[in-house]
DNA sequence: AACGAGAGACAA
DNA sequence: TGTCTCTCGTTC
């Protein structure tokens, strides 16, 4: 039992050497800032509290927090504060560098520090606790205790919340807490065989007992019986007679999975990939080539005794990177797929070990690796780096702050260079690998007869079929079509909860809202004109595209790969012919062996993001497509109404490297002129309410507060109705804060309230979808 | 995030 | 009047 030997009681607060009681500021994995407690009574003198986990009183019970700071208690507040109960760790669980980083991220993003901890996946903060209380002998307070005995340890839940609160305040209760570890029941030997087990009839029992002594323990009676080859009744007899007994032992943690083992080795670094001492970036090439290009830098960091944390946007990519890097370097692997306990064990183990390369998802960012020298953010332009649960953090920026707090460097990689890559990776230390050469065919959809598939696409697809090769076709959405409605008057089935049309899922014969999940059968007649000819309207989804292709080549194997359906693609990886129809989810697939055609059915949706990053997004998509092929260059067929789009022309050009660089220069210039990131930092403030006028009024109230706080006109844009004004029955208005430096943004965010009467306010610093507010 | 207090909504 | 839902405010 981990219980503190001396539980807390009514003793006077422990005194600091200056005579002032110690206070500790504690963070919890909750959307809260630090809360203050008096330090536990158990600490030895001079031990550092910062970074250790601590058990504290919490409402009617107890919970675990992390000490963010230790200080002298504010004058006059010592008596208001409650004592923390005990520390869980001997040594800091999280280093000062990581705590500084949490604070920096919290201040810059307006996300409460506790939520930063939770969002970045710091483990070990929600263990199961066994809480016990012991009431003091105090006749005056007897009525508070009710029937409860004094002087004995009782389960904490025997006391009501109010009673515990009063007893704590009066110092009439001791409390003890221990972490409950998962246990399992095992059979262990208790005595050696003696005369009672002599004789032929007890031979089985004797054999089982000898076996159990040899093994030390058995999982169950049945397991021991099998092992010793005796009937189970013999083992049961041993338990009955007291030769063996069941005991609860701590269940061992399943080991944390390591990086996957690969057959092939990561290639040697390409020429031109040099050691980068400080910040840097790697762009161009393929994912593998970018990892290879990092090798000299990572090896040099390790040789200098410094660890590296490599953060991928998705678990699949983390796994791939960990596997590849592990063929060259000592790699540890950590993603959110591991249990909290496994991650906690790794956090506890890392500081004492040697320098490592820790590869994982964003939950690896705050891992206490020894001597952090560098953070690498892979695929920095990937939208998944914007976290959508917990605090809305943008991982590359968070990584930059974690690196800064530790005095470490930051390296970003991406398939195409972007303004963000140059700004954060340092213009000096970049490696630009050759871009993949693509064979591009642009199919102009304007005025074309073919919808949703252009005749050129059908033609090349039939060639793929004829030659028994493979094709991938990207559709802009899952389901059958963007909308379902009346062929006569154009009525579209709307979602009852959101300002969106319902998506048509033909396979199931249902209409579904992809925002709120509303699901309904197909209407029989048009509610507007009464017509009975209802059907798919515009916007072909994966189902529609696949059905068209199946009609064009009956019998040719077709696969779907999107959020609704992930078909088993193993025949394709075995080299068999087929076509995959999917959303951008297919960009994560491993390269296909016989890929000869990649088609984008509506390139325009990638440009229509109504965001200043849309062009770079579109470019990334086109270049990532090239990574889906091994060896041979597939044909990239792009259907579009905008054949002149710069990103498309750049990848199709004879010298894509030069064209992409020109594109980048133009983007940088545009962003500077219009005051977009990375020259400014943006924050999106979303105000939602149950009714439209309430949301409108509350959004204007936020804007007013900003102006009162001194915001200039060019710093506050909006409010305007959100692009989708109503989602799940709530209306949203949004405004944008634009600050030319981060300290300014921090100041402006301080003027934004957490909530207003009847309305919720959500702040999103470094948003990914800004809308057209700045146009 | 999770919990509890208080305000309305509805049935008897 | 009780009970159920929903909103709001608090957590040292």
Encode pLDDT of A322-340 as tens digits: 999 999 999 999 999 999 9
First to last CA, chain A: 63
The crossing angle, in degrees rounded to 10, of helices A656-674 and A614-626 is: 160
Q: How many Å does it take to go from CA A352 to C1' B12?
A: 68
Q: How many Å does it take to go from CA A306 to C1' C9?
A: 46
Hey, how many other C-beta atoms are within 10 angstroms of the C-beta on A686? 19
Provide the pLDDT for residue A158.
Answer: 80
Q: Is the pLDDT of residue A78 over 90?
A: no
Instruction: Yes or no: say if A131 and A770 are a contact pair by the CB < 8 Å rule.
Output: no
Q: How many Å does it take to go from CA A374 to C1' C10?
A: 40
For residues A599 and A149, the model is more confident at A599
Q: DSSP string spanning A416-450?
A: S--HHHHHHH-STTEEEPPPPP-EEEEEE-TT-S-
**pLDDT > 90 fraction of chain A, expressed in percent and rounded:** 51
d(CA A50, CA A22): 12
- Tell me how far CA of residue A653 lies from CA of A240, A439, A442, A647, A662, in angstroms: 83, 9, 12, 10, 12
Provide the pLDDT for residue A21.
Answer: 63
* Nucleotide with the nearest C1' to A37 CA: C12
* Nucleotide with the nearest C1' to A126 CA: B1
A632: left (phi > 0), else alpha (psi -120 to 50), else beta? beta
Q: Is the pLDDT of residue A77 over 70?
A: no
Per DSSP, what are the bridge partners of residue A537? Answer: A483
Of A8-12, A62-66, A446-450, give the range with the top mean pLDDT: A62-66
Provide the pLDDT for residue A209.
Answer: 92
Token couple for A318: 């983390």
Q: Is the pLDDT of residue A748 over 90?
A: yes
Give the containing element (helix H, strand E) for A473.
Answer: strand A470-474
* Nucleotide with the nearest C1' to A390 CA: B1
Q: Specify the range with the lowest mean pLDDT, choosing from A130-134, A250-254, A542-546.
A: A250-254
d(CA A372, CA A422): 23
Q: How many Å does it take to go from CA A162 to C1' B5?
A: 14
DSSP, res A136 = -
Token couple for A705: 């507060």
Q: Is the pLDDT of residue A537 over 90?
A: no
Provide the pLDDT for residue A546.
Answer: 94
Residue A433's nearest CA partner among A267, A286, A297 is A286
Q: DSSP 3-state assignment of A65?
A: strand
Q: Which nucleotides of C are covered by protein (CB under 7 A)?
A: 7-9, 11-12
Given pLDDT bands bounded at 50, 70 and 90, which one contains residue A141?
low
- What number is the average pLDDT over the span A743-760? 89
Residues whose beta carbon sits under 7 Å from strand B: A 30-32, 59-60, 115, 161, 390
Q: Which residue is nearest to nucleotide C9 (CA to C1')?
A: A755
* Nucleotide with the nearest C1' to A756 CA: C8
Provide the pLDDT for residue A146.
Answer: 64
Dihedral Cα A554, A559, A561, A565, nearest 10 deg: 90
* Nucleotide with the nearest C1' to A690 CA: C7
DSSP, res A46 = T
State pLDDT tens for residues A196-234. 888 888 888 999 999 999 988 888 889 999 988 989 999
| Residue A747: partners with Cβ closer than 8 Å, 6 or more residues away | A709
Q: How many Å does it take to go from CA A758 to C1' C7?
A: 9
Q: Which residue has the tokens 């506890």?
A: A348
* Nucleotide with the nearest C1' to A59 CA: C11
Instruction: Yes or no: say if A700 and A761 are a contact pair by the CB < 8 Å rule.
Output: no
d(CA A355, CA A309): 10
Q: Is the pLDDT of residue A31 over 50?
A: yes
Give the containing element (helix H, strand E) for A723.
Answer: strand A716-727
3-state secondary structure A590-608: CCECCEEEEEECCCHHHHC
- With 0-12 / 13-18 / 19 or more C-beta atoms within 10 angstroms meaning exposed / middle / buried, residue A751 is middle
State pLDDT tens for residues A591-640. 899 999 999 999 988 877 667 888 899 999 999 988 888 777 889 999 99
Q: Is the pLDDT of residue A528 over 70?
A: yes
| Residue A740: partners with Cβ closer than 8 Å, 6 or more residues away | A675, A679, A680
Q: Which residue is nearest to nucleotide C10 (CA to C1')?
A: A59
Instruction: Yes or no: say if A488 and A544 are a contact pair by the CB < 8 Å rule.
Output: no
* Nucleotide with the nearest C1' to A118 CA: B1
Per DSSP, what are the bridge partners of residue A485? Answer: A492, A535
Q: How many Å does it take to go from CA A59 to C1' B2?
A: 11
Average pLDDT of chain A to the nearest whole number = 87
d(CA A65, CA A69): 12
Q: What angle do CA A71, A115, A124 make, to 5 degrees?
A: 80
d(CA A54, CA A22): 14
* Nucleotide with the nearest C1' to A755 CA: C8
Provide the pLDDT for residue A475.
Answer: 93
Q: Specify the range with the lowest mean pLDDT, choosing from A179-183, A532-536, A616-620.
A: A179-183
Q: Is the pLDDT of residue A511 over 90?
A: no
Of A47-61, A82-96, A364-378, give the range with the top mean pLDDT: A364-378
Given pLDDT bands bounded at 50, 70 and 90, which one contains residue A660?
very high
Q: How many Å does it take to go from CA A334 to C1' B3?
A: 33
Provide the pLDDT for residue A7.
Answer: 43
Provide the pLDDT for residue A448.
Answer: 61
Residue A379's nearest CA partner among A320, A452, A440, A448 is A320
Q: How many Å does it take to go from CA A521 to C1' B8?
A: 34
Provide the pLDDT for residue A16.
Answer: 47
| Residue A41: partners with Cβ closer than 8 Å, 6 or more residues away | A6, A8, A11, A14, A83
Residue A148's nearest CA partner among A162, A161, A160 is A160
Q: How many Å does it take to go from CA A688 to C1' B7?
A: 21
* Nucleotide with the nearest C1' to A162 CA: B4
- What number is the average pLDDT over the span A19-24? 73
The radius of gyration of chain A's CA atoms, rounded to the nearest angstrom, is: 32
* Nucleotide with the nearest C1' to A32 CA: C11
Provide the pLDDT for residue A1.
Answer: 31
- What number is the average pLDDT over the span A494-505? 82
Token couple for A753: 């309230």
Q: How many Å does it take to go from CA A124 to C1' B12?
A: 51
Q: Specify the range with the lowest mean pLDDT, choosing from A45-54, A57-66, A97-106.
A: A45-54
Provide the pLDDT for residue A140.
Answer: 61
Q: How many Å does it take to go from CA A6 to C1' C4?
A: 46
d(CA A333, CA A338): 10
Instruction: Yes or no: say if A277 and A283 are a contact pair by the CB < 8 Å rule.
Output: no
d(CA A392, CA A763): 8
Token couple for A208: 């089982």
Q: Which residue is nearest to nucleotide C7 (CA to C1')?
A: A758
Token couple for A527: 């509610």
Of A127-141, A289-303, A695-709, give the range with the top mean pLDDT: A289-303
Instruction: Yes or no: say if A394 and A386 are a contact pair by the CB < 8 Å rule.
Output: yes
Q: How many Å does it take to go from CA A674 to C1' B3?
A: 46
Per DSSP, what are the bridge partners of residue A681? Answer: A739
3-state secondary structure A637-652: EEEECCCCCHHHHHHH
Q: How many Å does it take to go from CA A728 to C1' C5?
A: 18
Instruction: Yes or no: say if A640 and A604 are a contact pair by the CB < 8 Å rule.
Output: yes
Per DSSP, what are the bridge partners of residue A166? Answer: none
Q: How many Å does it take to go from CA A161 to C1' B5?
A: 14
- What number is the average pLDDT over the span A11-34? 74
* Nucleotide with the nearest C1' to A389 CA: B1
Q: Which nucleotides of B are covered by protein (CB under 7 A)?
A: 1, 3-4
Q: Which residue is nearest to nucleotide B1 (CA to C1')?
A: A30
Q: Which residue is nearest to nucleotide B2 (CA to C1')?
A: A30
d(CA A409, CA A152): 55
d(CA A575, CA A568): 14
Q: How many Å does it take to go from CA A29 to C1' B2?
A: 12
Given pLDDT bands bounded at 50, 70 and 90, which one contains residue A43?
low
* Nucleotide with the nearest C1' to A60 CA: B3
* Nucleotide with the nearest C1' to A31 CA: B1
Q: How many Å does it take to go from CA A727 to C1' B10?
A: 28
Provide the pLDDT for residue A427.
Answer: 60
Q: Is the pLDDT of residue A6 over 50?
A: no
- What number is the average pLDDT over the span A408-434? 89
Residues whose beta carbon sits under 7 Å from strand C: A 30-32, 35-37, 56-59, 80-82, 690, 755, 757-758
Q: How many Å does it take to go from CA A732 to C1' C4?
A: 29
For residues A193 and A346, the model is more confident at A346
């Amino acid at each position: 039992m981990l219980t503190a030997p001396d539980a807390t009681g009514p003793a006077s607060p422990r005194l600091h050497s200056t005579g002032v009681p110690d206070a500790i500021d504690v963070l919890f994995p909750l959307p809260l800032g630090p809360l203050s407690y008096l330090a536990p009574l158990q600490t030895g003198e001079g031990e550092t509290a910062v970074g250790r986990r601590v058990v504290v009183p919490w409402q009617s019970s107890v919970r675990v927090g992390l000490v963010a700071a230790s200080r002298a208690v504010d004058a006059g507040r010592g008596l208001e504060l409650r004592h923390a109960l005990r520390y869980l760790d001997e040594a800091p669980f999280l280093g000062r560098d990581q705590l500084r980083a949490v604070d920096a991220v919290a201040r810059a993003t307006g996300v409460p520090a506790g939520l930063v901890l939770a969002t970045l996946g710091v483990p070990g903060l929600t263990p199961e606790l066994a809480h016990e209380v012991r009431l003091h002998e105090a006749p005056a307070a007897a009525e508070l205790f009710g029937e409860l005995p004094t002087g004995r340890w009782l389960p904490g839940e025997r006391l009501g919340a109010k009673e515990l609160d009063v007893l704590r305040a009066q110092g009439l209760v001791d409390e003890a807490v221990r972490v409950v570890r998962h246990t399992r029941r095992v059979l262990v030997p208790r005595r050696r065989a003696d005369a009672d087990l002599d004789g032929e009839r007890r031979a089985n029992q004797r054999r089982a007992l000898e076996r159990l002594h040899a093994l030390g323990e058995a999982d169950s009676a049945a397991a021991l019986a099998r092992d010793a080859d005796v009937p189970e009744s013999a083992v049961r007899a041993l338990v009955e007679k007291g030769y063996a007994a069941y005991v609860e032992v701590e269940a061992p943690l399943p080991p944390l999975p390591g990086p996957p083992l690969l057959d092939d080795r990561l290639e040697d670094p390409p020429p031109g990939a040099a050691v980068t001492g400080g910040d840097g970036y790697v762009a161009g090439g393929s994912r593998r080539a970018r990892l290879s290009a990092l090798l000299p830098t990572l090896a040099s960091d390790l040789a200098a005794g410094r660890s590296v944390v490599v953060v991928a946007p998705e678990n699949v990519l983390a796994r791939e990177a960990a596997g590849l890097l592990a063929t060259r370097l000592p790699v540890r692997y950590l993603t959110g797929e591991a249990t909290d306990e496994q991650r906690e064990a790794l956090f506890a183990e890392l500081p004492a070990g040697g320098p490592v390369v820790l590869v994982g998802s964003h939950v690896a960012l705050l891992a206490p690796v020894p001597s952090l020298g560098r953070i690498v953010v892979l695929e920095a332009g990937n939208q998944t780096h914007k976290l959508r649960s917990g605090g809305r953090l943008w991982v590359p920026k968070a990584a930059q702050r974690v690196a800064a707090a530790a005095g470490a460097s930051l390296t970003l990689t991406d398939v195409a260079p972007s303004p963000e890559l140059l700004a954060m990776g340092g213009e000096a230390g970049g490696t630009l690998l050759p871009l993949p050469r693509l064979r591009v065919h642009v199919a102009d959809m304007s005025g074309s007869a073919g919808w949703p598939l252009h005749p050129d696409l059908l033609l090349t697809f039939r060639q793929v079929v004829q030659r028994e090769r493979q094709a991938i076709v990207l559709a802009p959405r899952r389901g059958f079509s963007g909308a379902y409605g009346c062929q006569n008057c154009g009525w579209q089935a709307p979602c009852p909860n959101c300002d969106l049309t319902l998506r048509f899922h033909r396979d199931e014969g249902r209409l579904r809202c992809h925002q709120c999940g509303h699901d309904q059968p197909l209407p029989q007649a048009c509610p507007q004109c009464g017509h009975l000819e209802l059907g798919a309207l515009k916007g072909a989804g994966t189902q529609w595209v696949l059905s068209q292709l199946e009609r064009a080549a009956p019998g040719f194997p077709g696969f779907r790969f999107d959020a609704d359906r992930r078909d088993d693609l193993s025949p394709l990886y075995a080299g068999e012919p087929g076509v995959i129809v999917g959303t951008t989810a297919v960009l994560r697939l491993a390269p296909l062996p016989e890929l000869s055609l990649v088609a984008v059915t509506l390139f325009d949706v990638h440009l229509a993001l109504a965001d200043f990053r849309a062009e770079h997004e579109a470019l990334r998509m086109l270049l990532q497509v090239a990574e889906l092929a091994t060896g041979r260059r597939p044909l990239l067929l792009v259907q579009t109404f905008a054949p002149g789009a710069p990103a498309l022309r750049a990848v199709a050009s004879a010298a894509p490297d030069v064209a992409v660089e020109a594109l980048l220069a133009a983007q940088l210039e545009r962003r500077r002129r219009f005051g977009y990131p990375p020259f400014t930092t943006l924050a999106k403030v979303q105000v939602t309410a149950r009714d439209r006028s309430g949301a409108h009024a509350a959004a204007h109230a936020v804007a007013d507060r900003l102006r009162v706080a001194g915001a200039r006109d060019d710093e506050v844009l909006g409010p305007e109705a959100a692009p989708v004004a109503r989602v799940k029955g709530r209306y949203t208005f949004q405004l944008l804060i634009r600050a030319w430096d981060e300290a300014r943004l921090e100041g402006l965010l301080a003027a934004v309230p957490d909530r207003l009467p009847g309305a919720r306010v959500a702040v999103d610093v470094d948003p990914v979808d800004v809308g057209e507010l700045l146009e």
